[in-house]
Amino acid sequence: MPGASLSRWSLSYFAAAVVFLLAGQVLMVFGFGYPAAALRAPDTLLVVHCVTIGWLSLLMCGALFQFVPVLVVRPIYSNTLPLPALLLILAGLAALLASFLQLGGHLPVIPHCFAAASVLLGSGFGIVLWTLGRTLSAARPLNLPARFVAIGLCSVAATVTLGILFTLAFGGYTRAPFALELLGRGMPLHVIAGLGGWLTFTAIGVSHRLLSMFMLSPELDGASTQWTFRLGTLALAIVIIAGTVAVIARAGLNAVLVTAGLAGAGTLALYARDVVQLYRKRVRRVIELNSRMAGIALGHLAAAAVLTFACAVSGGFGQYGGALIFLVSFGWLSGLGLAKLYKVVAFITWLECYGPVLGKTPTPRVQDLVVEPRARTWFWLYFAAVDVGTVCLLARAPLVFRAAAAGMLLASAGIALELIRTRRLANVSPALRLPQGTRLPRLLFTFVAN
Amino acid sequence: MSGDADSASTEQIRDALRRVIDPELGYNIVDLGLVYDVTVRNDGRDAHITMTTTTRGCPATDYLQSGARDAAFTVDGIGSAQVTLTYDPPWTPKLMAPAARVHFGIKDE
């Protein structure tokens, strides 16, 4: 059944995600939230959720709807459910952002905004989990990359559950002692489960397969990679389970975080070994822009690990926590996300447009849909601006940070325009652009003929 | 006589399959070594192609299969074309033709 393996709504997730990335960066340029406001201030929380839910989580969901079937060699459980999930998440995020605006005094009070956000986000992510969970469940026993994704999905369930408890306690819907304890001291667990478990651990699993696929490297499933998975799972279990128990029992969190941190450091060291092997053993000597930029993003993950270690040793999480979250969110996760998005949009567009006429007429290559030298400039500007921004946050230079955010915004907008050009086949030579039997792809969704 | 027709068609089908590219690598599937076998029987009328993909679960799999079938039908006299997908043995870059290996900068071991 041709086209059965194309995800219908991934492009819609990507489009919405890019809009939230640009929106988050506009807010940073205008000095909204951290560092002008405190890390836990409502304005900061608005920017953080705009980026982590609106950009990173929608990007990850869209990517998983396309790539989980590739990982498990089975069709997605439903190609329809991702749409209502997207609409629910968007509505829930709007309600959440409106709640933060109210808390910050920028909007008049709208009753039950936090409750609406909880219900809508919970339902949206619930459908995502159901769709991906059923797809994985039908493919048991899972291969290694899919097991990373499964743990990532458990982590997003934990992140969303903690988030819902926070919003219910924040909005005054519950006075249950455990919810208030979690609201007071559980924030690190929410952040680590989200950035570390859901986004990073899933990205690690998917990157094992994508890097191997796009660079023609041998797939890694040996003992070292198995230990990457086991140690990472252990670290996340310690943070999420033991951490929650410790908070509710009013015990100290330090022992939990140090133990999980050690396991997390081991995971990243093993992952670094895997990544070096994937790049070294690649058959494709000349690699594409997406793989080169993924390498830069991986370097930022290493830098974030070093900064985490420095904070742990010096007790500087309070002082440098904002810079660390910024580096993880923009240097590592967004850098990797933009790099892979650049490739995946071209790949999906090729399959949608030229797949049906393959063998009948000459077709362009996936690489003909993009102009790498032009995009390369935007990527370098992006990473340079992220690095300047990180240094500004470490050195407490908020005005220069805003200039760096403007650089990130410009670069991200440039990459977004490249994605639109790819989708519109604007880079393909006229002779090959639309052979008989093809049609121009839609910008916001994929036409799937099944 | 029939054997001559079959072997001529086999070569023609291999040529036709060179029009089918692996979208990711941008190179034709024959010289990438993705076509394991082409058999033609019945006086050049029935074609059977055995092929693979670079990665198991590749989203382009269905298109590559139907593309190979459509390419076979462009050869004069072919009345039926069957494409079988296999991952035994799995594809490795060692299966590439020399020209493809040069194109991708792969050194001989």
pLDDT tens track for A246-257: 999 999 899 999
Q: State the pLDDT at residue B5.
A: 60
Q: Which percentage of chain B shows pLDDT scores above 70?
A: 91
Residue A3 has pLDDT above 70, yes or no: no
Distances, alpha carbon A144 to alpha carbons A220, A268, A289, A298, B35, in Å:
9, 16, 26, 20, 28
The per-residue pLDDT for range B60-94, each reduced to its tens digit, is: 899 999 999 999 999 988 999 999 999 999 998 88
A126 pLDDT above the threshold of 90: yes
Position B4, amino acid: D
Mean pLDDT is lowest, of A250-254, A387-391, A404-408, for A250-254
Residue A190 pLDDT exceeds 60? yes
Nearest partner of A405 among A51, A48, A50, A25, judged by Cα: A25
Nearest Cβ partner for B62 among A2, A354, A361: A2
Tokens describing residue A124: 């949206």
Cis-peptide, bond into residue A141, ω within 30° of zero: yes
Average pLDDT of chain A is 93
Evaluate if residue B2 carries a pLDDT over 60. Answer: no
Contact assignment for B19 to A359 by CB distance below 8 Å: yes
Interface of B with A (CB under 8 A): 16-17, 19-21, 23-26, 54-64, 66-71, 74, 93, 104-106
Domains of chain B (ranges plus CATH)? 2-98 (3.30.300.130)
The neighbour count for residue B10, using CB atoms within 10 Å, is 17
Q: Which residue has the tokens 């339902």?
A: A123
Instruction: Look up the ipTM and state it.
Output: 0.86
Run of H or E including B85? strand B80-85
| Bridge partners for B28 per DSSP | B21
Mean predicted confidence (pLDDT) in B85-105: 90
> Do residue B105 and residue A4 have CB atoms under 8 angstroms apart?
no
C-alpha to C-alpha distance for B49 and A257, rounded to whole angstroms: 57
pLDDT band for position A220 (cuts 50, 70, 90): confident
Strand, coil or helix: A175: coil
Closest partner CB to A365 (pick from B17, B21, B64):
B21
Question: Could you tell me the CA-to-CA distances from A18 to A22, A54, A336, A338, A409 in Å, in that order?
Answer: 6, 8, 14, 9, 11
Across A82-94, average pLDDT: 98
- Euclidean distance between CA atoms B106 and B109, whole angstroms: 9
CA-based nearest distance A71→chain B, Å: 7
Average pLDDT over residues A181-189: 92
Closest CA to A11 of A367, A353, A381: A353
What is the three-class DSSP state of A219?
coil
Instruction: Tell me which chain B residues have a C-beta less than 8 angstroms from the C-beta of A291.
Output: none
Residue-level pLDDT at A30: 97
Q: Which residue of B has its CA nearest to A212?
A: B55
Output the pLDDT for position A201. Answer: 97
Q: What is the layout of strands, in order, in the sheet containing B46-51?
A: B35-41, B46-51, B80-85
Q: CB distance from A437 to chain B under 8 Å?
A: no
